[in-house]
């Protein structure tokens, strides 16, 4: 069986469409065991689970940039264990880095939070920047007990201090 293409379909979308696609999955529970949504394209009353990488993949699939059959459930086992380079490959094929001071709604922020003791780089995290005023992001986050969900929130000072990279989707630059 051939591996699915990691390249997005070359069709235009706007940053707002990307944000709205991610918002369609608000409320999905946090899980490290894979990503899925019922119905597959989200929407009111959708159930399922995801992590911070999975919400990005679900939004891309909802936009039609990947087929509905793209295996977004690869998030935890593949990205973090079997092929930790896979997420980087998806980002570098379909996004380009921009400077943090060029951040705009629709951009993906890579954050690196310190652990509770503050003595190591801690967890890697992705969030989609959704608004300049007030500054907001949508992401999937869990507490130390493993309970969490996809939600949108104000960006706190601690979040800003952890932003390491900013990525902008190449599809935003396509013309119809």
Give tens-digit pLDDT for 10-46: 889 999 999 999 999 999 988 876 677 787 788 888 8
State which H helix or E strand residue 30 sits in: strand 29-30
Output the pLDDT for position 40: 77
Dihedral sign (CA 85, 91, 96, 97) = negative
State which H helix or E strand residue 127 sits in: strand 124-132
Domain boundaries, the chain: 15-170
Q: Which CATH number fits domain 15-170: 4.10.910.10, 3.40.228.10, 3.40.50.300, 3.90.1720.10?
A: 3.90.1720.10
97: Cβ contacts below 8 Å, ≥ 6 apart: 165, 166, 167, 168
Quick one: DSSP state of residue 108? E
Model confidence at 80, pLDDT cuts 50, 70, 90, reads low
Secondary structure E strands in 45-102: 47-50, 95-98
Find the range with the poorest average confidence among 4-8, 45-49, 52-56, 100-104: 4-8
* Nearest partner of 148 among 81, 77, 55, judged by Cα: 55
- Distance between CA atoms of residues 25 and 175, nearest Å: 27
Give tens-digit pLDDT for 97-134: 999 999 999 999 999 887 655 555 667 889 999 999 99
Find the range with the poorest average confidence among 3-7, 10-14, 39-43, 146-150: 3-7
39 upstream amide cis, omega within 30 of 0: yes
């Amino acid at each position: 069986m051939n591996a699915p293409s990691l390249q997005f379909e070359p069709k235009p979308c706007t940053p707002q469409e990307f944000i709205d696609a991610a918002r369609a999955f608000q409320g999905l529970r946090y899980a490290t065991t894979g990503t899925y949504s019922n119905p597959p394209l989200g929407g009111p009353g959708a159930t399922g689970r995801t992590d911070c990488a999975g919400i990005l993949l679900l939004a891309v699939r909802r936009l039609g940039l990947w087929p509905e059959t793209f295996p977004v459930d690869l998030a935890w086992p593949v990205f973090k264990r079997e092929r930790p380079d896979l997420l980087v490959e998806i980002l570098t094929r379909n996004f380009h880095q921009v400077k943090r001071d060029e951040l705009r709604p629709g951009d993906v922020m890579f954050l690196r939070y310190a652990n509770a003791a503050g003595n190591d780089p801690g967890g890697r995290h992705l969030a989609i920047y959704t608004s300049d005023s007030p500054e907001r992001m949508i992401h999937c986050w869990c507490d130390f007990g493993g309970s969490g969900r996809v939600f949108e929130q104000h960006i706190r000072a601690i979040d800003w201090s952890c932003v390491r990279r900013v990525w902008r989707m190449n599809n935003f630059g396509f013309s119809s």
